[in-house]
Amino acid sequence: MQAGFIGLGGMGLPMARNLLKAGHEVTVYNRTRSRADELRAAGARVAANPVEACAAGIVMTMLADDAAVEEVALKGDLPRHLGPGGIHISASTISVALAERLTKAHAEARNFLICAPVFGRPAAAEAAQLLVIAAGPAEVIERSKPLLTAIGARLEIIGSHPPAANVFKLAGNFMIGATMELLAEAFALLRKSHVDQKRFLDIMTGTLFAAPIHKIYGKLIAEEQFEPAGFKVPLGLKDMRLVLAAADRASAPMPVANIVHDHLLTALARGQQELDWSSLARVVAENAGLGPASPGGQK
């Protein structure tokens, strides 16, 4: 397929590369031109602006936040440039309110929006192992499947209303944040009680808590592997703000989300903006009077 791709950050660059590996003809655009130039050797055409990336009538965006998506898609009038029948696949984690506005804008332009946010860190994006959550008109998703399946290992279609995928993604990111919080609190208790947190992690993730999320984030927190960041603190904080905004819209109290939000905000205030969002565990440890863990997992 011919398609455009806008946004070549830590996730977007490997996603676009995987589209090329799958044989698609991809025109890429990124505000920082050097990122787009990296894909020339892989066969990508580099667009001079977002409008050029829409020429094929189907474009995927992977942008950092609401402001970036609004700038490209709404202020840049992306629906109009796609033309009637065009398809915009939004893979960004954005607010439900913005997803609703995008849906309306595409309907007015007589084309289509698919919201298809992804679960996975940059390493999963590189390996095309992302979990893709898509919502939009069934026939439009069917047309877009070659692109959606090229970036991930699993595609789940959850409905015809595009913003539903954003609610799904925010709920999932909340669960990841809450998991990091529970790991951080458990490890603080263990360290203060002079119990080996790494031994605890090995046993629990080999039995009762064998999910990948416990293993991945448990290891990062136990070993304090907060650099290089797969997902930085400001992005995690942004997502928790979106979760709380969605909860407010739905009149669904989420007290744990408030705790995760506050710990990420504290992490940012303490200068952890370049660290992985799992470094909220450092805030929890410091609140318990603990310093950095030793290699053996203790204070």
Residues labelled as active-site residues? 169
pLDDT, averaged in runs of 10, over the chain (299 residues): 97 98 97 93 95 96 97 96 97 98 98 98 96 98 98 98 98 98 98 97 98 96 96 97 98 98 98 98 97 61
- Give the pLDDT confidence score for residue 196 in this predicted structure: 96
| Topology agreement, domain 2-161 and domain 167-287 | no
Record: fold of 2-161: Rossmann fold (3.40.50)
| Angle, CA of 67, 69 and 75, to the nearest 5° | 85
Residue 61: the pLDDT is 98
Q: What pLDDT score was predicted for residue 294?
A: 62
Q: Are strands 45-46 and 87-90 parallel, antiparallel or unpaired?
A: unpaired
Angle in degrees, CA 261, 266, 267, rounded to 5:
95
What is the Cα–Cα distance from 254 to 245, expressed in whole angstroms?
10
| pLDDT value of position 295 | 54
Map out the domains of the chain as residue ranges. 2-161, 167-287
| Alpha-carbon span 122 to 103, nearest angstrom | 28
d(C-alpha 4, C-alpha 37), whole Å:
15
Tell me 121's DSSP state: -
167-287 has which CATH code? 1.10.1040.10
Is 56 in contact with 3 (CB distance < 8 Å)?
yes
